[in-house]
Amino acid sequence: KIWIVDFGSQYTQLITRKTRELGFSSEIISVDECEARFKSNSLPECLVLSGGPQSVFEDPHDYSFIFNHKELPVLGICYGMQLLGKFFGGVVEKGIIGEYGHADIHFTGAFKIPSTPTKMSVWMSHSDHVSKVPPEFDVVMESSNKLVSGIKHTSRPIMGLQFHPEVEHSKHGKSVLDYFYQKIAKLSKDWNASEMLEEAFAMVKEIGDKKVLCAFSGGVDSLVAATLSEKILGGNLYCFFVDNGLLRTQDYIHIEKLKKETNLNIEVIDAKKEFLGALENVSEPEAKRKIIGKMFIEIFEKKVKDFETNHKIHFEYLLQGTLYPDVIESSPHINGGKSVTIKSHHNVGGLPERMKLKLLEPLRHLFKDEVREMGLSLNLKRDWVYRHPFPGPGLGVRILGEITPKAIKACQDSDQILYEELLEAKLYHSTWQAFTVYLPVQTVGVKGDGRAYENVICLRMVNSSDGMTANWSHFPHEFLEVVSRRITNEVAGITRVVYDITSKPPGTIEWE
């Protein structure tokens, strides 16, 4: 296994993803965790030192615990290369100009990587640089600014890269990584879909013959987690799906399909009345979110307790579709615990503690793409595995102002039209999320021969890769026209359709 030591670069996760895409298993760890493992004699097959925002001049660590192991392959990227430079006796200079963004680099001396051109465009993001290469190292790459871009130890399997081979902008970056892993570190490939599945199965097998509860949403993560777990747990897995009345028409259709076409034991909890009752007369966004989150936990707990009493069973585990980015972000080991907090609006937050359930998280080492791949290898339909994300509070954050039956119906009907038209135009998969928002404003219109004074539906469609930033989707006008015409003709109470052309930042994806 390859350990990626995180020095806080925004690209650390990408190194892991690219490494796995190349077929090598890898995990992210902090420097402290790395040192602790070395001390207890647990060593990786290869170490990658990531980039980082700090300067080697301020780094208090003594890295001899790593470099005393003469056979250990080490790749230093950006900050990681500067650490190599400093440790092995070169000179690292504080940058005045630095290199940011695209840069051209070329190989120097006899060194070549066969699968890349001699000149490459790569992505740089550094101000400090190695100005004098350590004695036992060769310069193997240089930028057009005449700065050292790549160094290689003359006898040990150690290499440093000043650029970021893990980002897409470094066009041949993946080949550079592959070259290091195969030719310098001499690793063999050990990561693929069946490895992933075996690892996940092993986690589920560990819990033995226990009853497992799943808060099932029908989204990609909970579907894949439940499907793979069911293969081991069989009838011991119970999926509970809470109908909070704030679902889209497509969700009701989806859940019925899953009940019919999978082996999952799905129990639908109809809690529409409770949710809508609690939301009556509430229009402030945060208040709505809080009520929806609190109701979910209360209702889920009550229904599960009733179920346990009625069926004389006891649940010990809660199955969750937690993914690797959540695990990394919430890990106290990374960045000395300074890292970003995950979204506070996690639906099942607090549930395991409250219900005294142990957690089963078989996807906790995987990225979204890997989960999708796993879903396909479990024979789940492509459409199920590539669904758009849908927020826990559902239409509650897409109906602005008070949530009334009339607004829910308009939001559901308009969303269904948009969904059908996206599929028809084969545009569904060219966007990250596409939905309608119900606005509590009335505008004047003409319907038939009369005056109408009705509500507005907004189309929100964005492209994104992780939901953190997003651009509004530039869909063809013809498509927008069909959607607008159908919504104003077919949805009761709507006379106007508008298109949200705001990117994130500053506008969040959801309106509330």
Strand partners, 102: 123
Please report which helix (H) or strand (E) contains residue 453, including its range: strand 450-463
Longest dimension (CA), the chain: 87
Q: Which string of x and - marks every residue 482-511 that binds ligand XMP (by CB under 6 A)?
A: ----------------------x---xxx-
Where does 24-118 show beta strands of DSSP type E? 26-29, 46-49, 74-77, 91-93, 99-107
Please identify, using beta-carbon distances, which residue of 89 and 389 lies nearer to ligand XMP.
Answer: 389
Please identify, using beta-carbon distances, which residue of 18 and 398 lies nearer to ligand XMP.
Answer: 398
CB of 322 to ligand XMP, least distance (A): 12
Number of residues that bind ligand XMP (CB under 6 A): 11
Determine if residue 149 is labeled as part of a ligand binding site: no
Verify whether residue 481 is a known catalytic residue. no
Please report which helix (H) or strand (E) contains residue 5, including its range: strand 2-5
Q: Which string of x and - marks every residue 286-325 that binds ligand XMP (by CB under 6 A)?
A: ----------------------------------------
Interface residues for ligand XMP in 384-413 (CB under 6 A)? 389, 391-393
CB of 460 to ligand XMP, least distance (A): 10
Residue whose tokens read 């296994």: 1
CB of 392 to ligand XMP, least distance (A): 4
Report in angstroms the alpha-carbon separations of 387 from 17, 193, 227, 267, 380: 21, 20, 16, 21, 12
Catalytic one among 78, 214, 239, 458?
A: 78
Long-range CB contacts for residues 203-210, cutoff 8 Å, separation at least 24: 203/360, 203/361, 203/362, 204/228, 204/229, 204/232, 204/233, 204/360, 204/362, 205/232, 207/316, 207/317, 207/358, 207/360, 209/236, 210/236, 210/316, 210/317
Determine if residue 482 is labeled as part of a ligand binding site: no
Verify whether residue 254 is a known catalytic residue. no
- Map 137-195 to HEC letters: EEEEEEECCCCEEEEEECCCCEEEECCCCCCCCCCCHHHHHHHHHHHHCCCCCCCCHHH
The two structure tokens encoding residue 16:
């892991």
Backbone angles phi, psi at 388, to 5 degrees: -70, 155
CB of 216 to ligand XMP, least distance (A): 14
Determine if residue 90 is labeled as part of a ligand binding site: no
Interface residues for ligand XMP in 322-351 (CB under 6 A)? 345
Q: Which string of x and - marks every residue 430-449 that binds ligand XMP (by CB under 6 A)?
A: ---x----------------
Verify whether residue 512 is a known catalytic residue. no
Interface residue with ligand XMP, options 467, 479, 480, 482 (CB under 6 A): 467
Site for ligand XMP contains 415 (CB under 6 A): no
Determine if residue 218 is labeled as part of a ligand binding site: yes
Please identify, using beta-carbon distances, which residue of 133 and 292 lies nearer to ligand XMP.
Answer: 292
Determine if residue 223 is labeled as part of a ligand binding site: yes
Cite the active site residues: 78, 164, 166
Q: Give the residue numbers of the binding site for ATP.
A: 217-223
Binding site for ligand XMP (CB under 6 A): 345, 389, 391-393, 433, 467, 504, 508-510
Q: Give the residue numbers of the binding site.
A: 217-223
